[in-house]
Amino acid sequence: MKICIYGAGSIGCYLGGRLAAAGYDIDFIVRPKIQQQLQTYGLTVSDYQGFKQTIAVNRLQITDDPQIAAQADIILVCVKSASTEQVAGELKDILKKKTIIISFQNGLSNVGILKQILTDHILLEGMVPFNVAALGNGIFHQGTDGALYVKKHDGLTELANAFQKANLEIKLESDMQAIQWAKLLLNLNNSINALSQLPLKQQLSIREYRQCLAIAQLEALNLLKIAKIKPAQLTPIPTQFIPTILKLPNTVFKIVSQKMLAIDPLARSSMADDLSSARKTEIDWINGEVVNLAKQLKLTAPINEKLIQLVKQAESTSELKAWSGIELKTMLFGQVIKTI
């Protein structure tokens, strides 16, 4: 089985690195900046449970040439969502055989875009639940837990076995819409984390930030209920109860949250990394999905609209503002601080 990682940023390098460490044949299509890192330092993958392994430079197959994807049996698309259409166009000109293509990207629309262009291939939704931090010098660290999900398909037996050999839990699921919405609800914290400029664990220890996340999630959950979409349960606590947990006082939340999600002190959201590196974020494919759903229902999503506005303002400035929890809560709830 020949696997190609198309778009080896943090997620692509981590997934590909774990598979390569387990002995699988992986091609990495990377940006020049990442290519330079990997050619200098090799690829190191680590996680919050203490796993760490380096794949030496001479064992890595890395390139910035999309043509290498023509050899693949399975392609994992891990590019930013804004690049999905471009990647689909490149693959259309390259692929000569029927190929399984899995989108491990944020948002809900990427597979639809891929299917419009790559009509002769098998396109499947995937979901990565955990955070991966790029620590520099070719090091990619998994900071939170969770199982990978991929749309169920008969051709995935060998890939599923590969992930299991690499000690990455993977689940094949029929209803990926429910999975993707559940992940997106958790990802609504990305914008709050990016605006806070704090590590995830520290940010979530502060009640005002959690209250901001709770109201953003409640807005989305109300829209999903109207649309008759039921998100899956990805954590031990059912999705609809998470906003209530988030609003708890800090001492109580600390106890309850230990059952929800393991978070490494190093973990930051990808959106925070994008802002600090002056890159465009994926805000339109996260909070923007909530706003799009509201528009389809002829409703509004003012909390998520405001978060989009704040992140886009941050994208356009050279000096990032670190929003305190109280400042952000005041902005989202109006001038009067409310007790939730």
How much of the chain is helix, strand and coil, in % rounded to 5? Answer: 50, 15, 35
Q: What per-residue confidence (pLDDT) applies to 338? A: 44
SS3 55: strand
62 with 152, same domain: the answer is yes
Q: What Cα–Cα distance (Å) separates residue 2 from each residue in 10, 12, 171?
A: 21, 15, 21
Q: Using CB atoms within 10 A of its CB, is residue 124 exposed (0-12), middle (13-18) or buried (19+)?
A: buried
CA count, 13 A, side-chain hemisphere, 102: 26
Is residue 29 included in any domain, yes or no? yes
Q: What per-residue confidence (pLDDT) applies to 336? A: 41
Does residue 33 surpass a pLDDT of 90?
Answer: no
203 with 281, same domain: the answer is yes
**How high is the mean pLDDT of the chain?**
93
Q: Is the dihedral angle over the CA atoms 268, 112, 168, 230 positive or is it negative?
A: positive
Number of domains in the chain: 2
State the pLDDT confidence band at 261, using cuts at 50, 70 and 90: low
Is residue 211 included in any domain, yes or no? yes
280 with 314, same domain: the answer is yes
Average pLDDT over residues 258-265: 72
- Whichever domain contains 185, its CATH number is 1.10.1040.10
Q: What Cα–Cα distance (Å) separates residue 141 from each residue in 54, 132, 233, 254, 273?
A: 12, 5, 25, 23, 13
198 with 151, same domain: the answer is no
Q: What per-residue confidence (pLDDT) applies to 266? A: 75
Which is higher by pLDDT, 32 or 262? 32
- According to the 3-state scheme, what is the secondary structure of 122-171? EEEEEECCCCEEEEECCEEEECECCCEEEECCHHHHHHHHHHHHCCCCEE
Say if residues 155 and 99 touch (Cβ distance below 8 Å): no
165 with 183, same domain: the answer is no
Does residue 119 surpass a pLDDT of 70?
Answer: yes
Domain boundary among 122, 148, 174: 174
Does residue 203 surpass a pLDDT of 60?
Answer: yes
State the pLDDT confidence band at 218, using cuts at 50, 70 and 90: very high
234 with 328, same domain: the answer is yes
pLDDT in tens, 320-339: 999 999 999 999 987 344 43
Q: What Cα–Cα distance (Å) separates residue 49 from each residue in 141, 187, 244, 258, 266?
A: 10, 22, 28, 15, 12
State the pLDDT confidence band at 260, using cuts at 50, 70 and 90: low
Q: Is the dihedral angle over the CA atoms 234, 114, 34, 288 positive or is it negative?
A: negative
- Whichever domain contains 84, its CATH number is 3.40.50.720
Domain boundary among 174, 208, 232: 174
Q: What per-residue confidence (pLDDT) applies to 216? A: 97
Domain, as residue range, for 50: 2-174
Say if residues 259 and 78 touch (Cβ distance below 8 Å): no
Q: What per-residue confidence (pLDDT) applies to 179? A: 96
SS3 30: coil
167 with 276, same domain: the answer is no
Using a cut of 0.95, tell me whether the model's pTM lies above it.
Answer: no
Q: Using CB atoms within 10 A of its CB, is residue 138 exposed (0-12), middle (13-18) or buried (19+)?
A: buried
How far is residue 267's CA from residue 142's CA, in Å, rounded to a whole number?
8
- For the chain, what percent of residues have pLDDT higher than 70? 97
Q: What per-residue confidence (pLDDT) applies to 162? A: 97
Q: Which long-range contacts (CB under 8 A, 24 or more apart) does 108-111 make?
A: 108/177, 108/180, 108/181, 108/184, 108/285, 108/289, 109/81, 109/285, 109/289, 110/77, 110/81, 110/84, 110/285
Is residue 339 included in any domain, yes or no? no
Q: What are phi and psi of 54, to 5 degrees?
A: -110, 130
Structure tokens at 11: 């997620």
pLDDT in tens, 279-295: 999 999 999 999 999 99
Domain boundary among 174, 207, 224: 174
44 with 73, same domain: the answer is yes
Tokens 């992940």 correspond to what residue?
Answer: 183
Is residue 338 included in any domain, yes or no? no
Average pLDDT over residues 140-152: 93
151 with 198, same domain: the answer is no
Is residue 212 included in any domain, yes or no? yes
Structure tokens at 123: 């396109």
Is residue 21 included in any domain, yes or no? yes
Tokens 């909070």 correspond to what residue?
Answer: 287
123 with 211, same domain: the answer is no
State the pLDDT confidence band at 259, using cuts at 50, 70 and 90: low
Q: What per-residue confidence (pLDDT) applies to 264? A: 79
